Chain A
Amino acid sequence: MASSFTRLISGRNTAALLASLGAGTMAAGFLMSETGPLAADKKTKLYPPSSDFPDLRKHNNCMAAALTPAIYAKLRDKVTPNNWTLDQSIQTGVDNPGHPFIKTVGCVAGDEESYEVFAELFDPVIKDRHNGYDPRTMKHPTDLDSSKITNAVFDENYVLSSRVRTGRSIRGLSLPPACSRAERREVERVVVTALAGLKGDLAGRYYGLGDMTEKEQQQLIDDHFLFDKPVSPLLTCAFMARDWPDARGIWHNNEKTFLIWVNEEDHTRVISMEKGGNMKRVFERFCRGLKQVEHLIQERGWEFMWNERLGYILTCPSNLGTGLRAGVHVRLPKLSQDPRFSKILDNLRLQKRGTGGVDTAATGDTFDISNNDRLGKSEVELVQLLVDGVNHLIECEKKLEKGQDIKVPAPITQFRK
């Protein structure tokens, strides 16, 4: 029966024939055949890539700027080895035309291979987002030797806290937009097993989001450690909140200065932080902790996703390279009122955020100041850049306090474009 229908069907006549069959059962019987190829072929013929190309006319994100009908047509029917598609990568950028404070990226990777299979989209996005960094021709340096950092203990009259964060992905497992429940649980298992091996000042404990007690939850909130189910549509449209809170959790050391988020926006987010201005110590602990975790997973045959073009591979292209955001909460009452503030930050390659994080505006005169860049410079370079920048901002603030004038510093050179 199915094969005689097959010969009759072609292109748009399919729908006509099925409709004219009238009774639901016959048509359903045909459609139900699990000989997939016809269904797949029929769809491909009926819907060329041009019929699926998203309407991006009101959009302002890196994906919308880079995606053309030609690129879409080429990539639409490809899949990564994990069966992740272009449409899935760009869904978040289609659903979210723009953001009030930042130019968003608008696409995510479902796995390590996404960056290669969909390179024709991701490469220009990476270039756009990372100041012209060209993954086809450039190499990204990795340097986690914290001893190289200088002048990194800040004046605590100004700097209230210091923090460094990055992310790491476990090679061989899909990323949060794409992972199945089993994969996500596997990430949790691998990471939690490794963390249990940390000792000394890094010894700590894991709290699964689904089974923490009320008391534990309140403590984590008070410590500003607890992360919530994502509400930002940038994340939820990228399928990262599926199955919440399954296999999500927080690990931190007993001293509460080293913290790891499991299965939030990335497989892991690694955070070193403390009150006060000792960025040197924060970064030292960061590097030491990261290296130990890497060693512990390697002992069990796992490794982090990394390559020399893109550095550490993370879900969002904005976090490629180092994935590193080093920042301080710093009081700058006079400087923040100065009209040259933004230009100074720009030239120092720093960004400001509110103290609630990326989607907040600053309240009062305390700012979250951190490095802009992620890719093309090493961890040591970026932290030093932040350190030098914050020291400069404090100098400016002090000058303004004394009624002296300040100068806008020359822009820091980028890598050659």
Chain B
Amino acid sequence: MLSSSAGTIGIFVSTTGSSSPQIRQQGSTMPFGNTHNQMKMKFASEQEYPDLSKHNNHMAKILTPALYERLRSKQTPSGFTLDDVIQTGVDNPGHPFIMTVGCVAGDEETYEVFKELLDPVIEDRHGGYKPSDKHKTDLNPSNLKGGDDLDSNYVLSSRVRTGRSVRGFCLPPHCSRGERRAVETLSIEALASLSGDLKGKYYALKNMTEAEQQQLIDDHFLFDKPVSPLLLASGMGRDWPDARGIWHNDNKTFLVWVNEEDHLRVISMQKGGNMKEVFERFCTGLTKIETLFKERNHAFMWNEHLGYVLTCPSNLGTGLRAGVHVKLPNMSKHAKFEEVLKKLRLQKRGTGGVDTAAVGGVFDISNADRLGFSEVELVQMVVDGVKLLVEMEKKLEKGQSIDDLMPAQK
């Protein structure tokens, strides 16, 4: 039991016995939230263990008191701790539409230092991906078959996005303002070197004009300060809008978000159903950006087990979500809609994004996987799958059955 003598009404009542302000301890250089890890060691593990009895996310499924005890004394070299990793999962018991991950990385090393927690989370989230598995990267668009002819009577728009992290910097949950600004500066420099149909302009969130802001909103490019408690609880909203911004090419078909949920989010998009063209631009643009970063002595975070390393374990591997907005008013009412999506390894969302429901029979259909398949493989799944869905839609329109079109499990 902590006690202090009744007569001591001093300023420096320190529980560690030290009576003067200290210089920041080693390993705790990037402050956020619970970096006073050593202090917590004086409490027993059970006293610190979170109450996850009402929780339903990947972290809550995996974490046990024993695991917590083994990992709680560790921290990454930049000072990210177990409690930092899991805070978002503790604060957010569940989500109405999706099974959330409930943990984030604060730096590249998080995935190594806390692998005892993150490996099972990754395995659970990514369809059985094992700690010994290798992930393949394939950003060669000529390996994609077809994809240039999705019926634009149904497919309203096509989009491919991914994320990239810049090695050597802490990730959005943990970075200091200085690091975040350094990432922004590097990104602006690299993107300014893009040319041809990729030539474009950067708009920093904090000094865009009203007119610029409105244009970006009208183009559906502008991202807002996160309101989702999933993101806020992990610390990603700190210092908003400092060092956040949007870059896009003059043609408005290639877009980069800087310092939102990841260092970079890279998006290629256009109206209509030419996913091949979208993917070509995506690969060309990404490869060019990677080269430009390397010229400035910065690599992207990548390794052969996890592929591209991003903030949320759900985005590891390719970090790729290729999707279309497609009209499926009949198909979506069909009893087997969910089953078909599952077989095709696709997922549906509302056209407002992950936290929305569909409106007017128009769905956002995209690949469900991120890790364990290459970029080409995932986009191929979307292309083939959406083709099939549109065929089914057409049949249902004519009152015909779709039983003979039912796909096998991919």
4 A-B pairs closest in CB distance: A24-B303, A83-B36, A51-B178, A36-B26
Let me know if B33 is at the binding interface, CB within 8 A: yes
The distance from the CB of B135 to the nearest CB of chain A, in whole angstroms, is 12
| CB closest residue in chain B, given A55 | B242
Q: Is B65 an interface residue (CB 8 A)?
A: no
B25→A241 contact, CB < 8 A? no
Question: For residue B25, which residues in chain A have a CB less than 8 angstroms away from its CB?
Answer: 79, 83
- Looking at the complex, which one of B14, B27, B240, B303 makes contact with A95 (CB distance below 8 Å)? B240
Contact B91 A55 (CB under 8 A): no
Known: A185-B47, A241-B91. A94 touches B239 (CB 8 A): yes
Contact of A47 with B3 at beta-carbon distance under 8 Å, contacts A40-B29, A94-B239, A244-B91 already known: no
CA distance A84 to B83 in the complex (A): 15
Bound CA–CA A235/B375 (angstroms): 42
Given contacts A24-B304, A87-B31, A172-B13, contact A32 B113 (CB under 8 A): yes
In the complex, what residues of B have CB within 8 A of residue A236's CB? 232
A172 near B2: Cβ-Cβ < 8 Å:
yes
Does B30 make an interface contact (CB < 8 A)?
Answer: yes
Report if B212 contacts A (CB, 8 A): no
Across the interface, B182 reaches (CB within 8 A) one of A36, A51, A58, namely: A51
List B contacts of A181 (CB < 8 A).
Answer: 47-50
Q: What's the minimum C-beta distance from B329 to chain A, rounded to whole angstroms?
A: 37
| Measured CA separation A244–B91 after assembly (Å) | 6
Contact of A117 with B by CB under 8 A? yes
Q: At the interface, yes or no: A239 with Cβ under 8 Å from chain B? A: yes
A40 and B27 contact, CB distance less than 8 A: yes
Query: A10 an interface residue at 8 Å Cβ cutoff?
Result: no
In contact, A52 and B4 (Cβ under 8 angstroms): no
Q: How far is the CA of A87 from the CA of B47 in the complex (A)?
A: 27
Per-residue CB contact flags for chain B residues 13-49 toward chain A (1 = under 8 Å, else 0) read 1111011011111111111111111111001100111
Show 5 A/B contacts (Cβ-Cβ < 8 Å), sorted by A. Answer: A33-B77, A43-B30, A47-B178, A81-B15, A182-B44
If A19-B167, A32-B109 touch, does A81 touch B18 (CB 8 Å cutoff)?
yes
**B239 nearest CB neighbor, chain A only:** A94
Tell whether B154 is near chain A: CB-to-CB under 8 Å: no
Q: Out of A24, A47, A58, which one reaches B301, CB within 8 Å?
A: A24
Binding site for A on B (CB under 8 A): 1-4, 6, 9-16, 18-19, 21-40, 43-44, 47-51, 76-78, 83, 87, 90-91, 108-109, 112-113, 167-168, 176-179, 181-182, 206, 232-233, 237-240, 242, 294, 297-299, 301-304
Question: Within residues 178 to 221 of chain A, which ones have a CB less than 8 A from any CB in chain B?
Answer: 178, 180-183, 185-186, 210
Q: Is the CB of A178 within 8 A of B36?
A: yes
- Chain A residues lying within 8 Å of B13, measured Cβ to Cβ, are 112-113, 171-172
A35-50 CB contacts (< 8 Å) to partner B: 36-40, 43-44, 46-48
Q: How many A-B residue pairs have CB under 8 A?
A: 207
A94 (CB) vs chain B CBs: closest residue = B239
- Bound-state CA distance A33–B24 (Å) is 19
Complex alpha-carbon distance, A178 and B31, angstroms: 11
Q: How near does chain A come to B229, taking the closest CB pair, in angstroms?
A: 9
Query: Is A381 interfacial (CB-CB < 8 Å)?
Result: no
Instruction: Tell me the complex Cα distance, A15–B300, Å.
Output: 12
Count of residues in A whose CB is under 8 Å from the partner chain: 79
Given A19-B167, A180-B39: A79 touches B21 (CB 8 Å cut-off): yes
Main secondary structure of the interface of B (DSSP, over half): loop
Distance, CA A116 to CA B39, complexed state (A): 19
> Which residues on the B side are within 8 Å of A225 (C-beta)?
none
Identify which of residues 93-126 in chain A touch chain B, using a CB-to-CB cut-off of 8 Å.
94-95, 112-113, 115-117
Contacts of A22 in B (CB 8 A): 299
* B344 → chain A closest CB, angstroms: 32
Shortest CB-to-CB span from B21 to chain A, Å, is 4
Q: Indicate whether A257 reaches chain B with its CB closer than 8 angstroms.
A: no
Residues of B within 8 A of A307 (CB): 9-11
On whether the beta carbons of B109 and A116 are closer than 8 Å, the reply is no
Which A residues are CB-close (under 8 A) to B18? 81
Among A259-267, A297-305, A327-335, the stretch that binds chain B is A297-305
Residues of A within 8 A of B23 (CB): 77-79
CB pair B238–A91 under 8 Å, yes or no, is: yes
From B48, B78, B167, A182 is in contact (CB under 8 Å) with B48
B176 contacts A52, C-beta separation under 8 Å: yes
B9 to chain A: closest CB distance in Å? 5
Q: How far is the CA of A211 from the CA of B230 in the complex (A)?
A: 23
Our pick among B1, B24, B108 for the contact of A77 (Cβ within 8 Å) is B24
**How far is it, in angstroms, between the C-alpha of A43 and the C-alpha of B176 when the chains are bound?**
10
Instruction: Write the chain A residue with the least CB distance to B170.
Output: A43
Which residues on B sit within 8 Å (CB–CB) of A27?
167
Any B CB within 8 A of the CB of A253? no
Shortest beta-carbon distance, A410 to chain B, in Å? Answer: 37
**Is A16 in the interface zone, CB < 8 Å from B?**
yes
Q: Is A292 part of the contact surface with B, judged by Cβ < 8 Å?
A: no
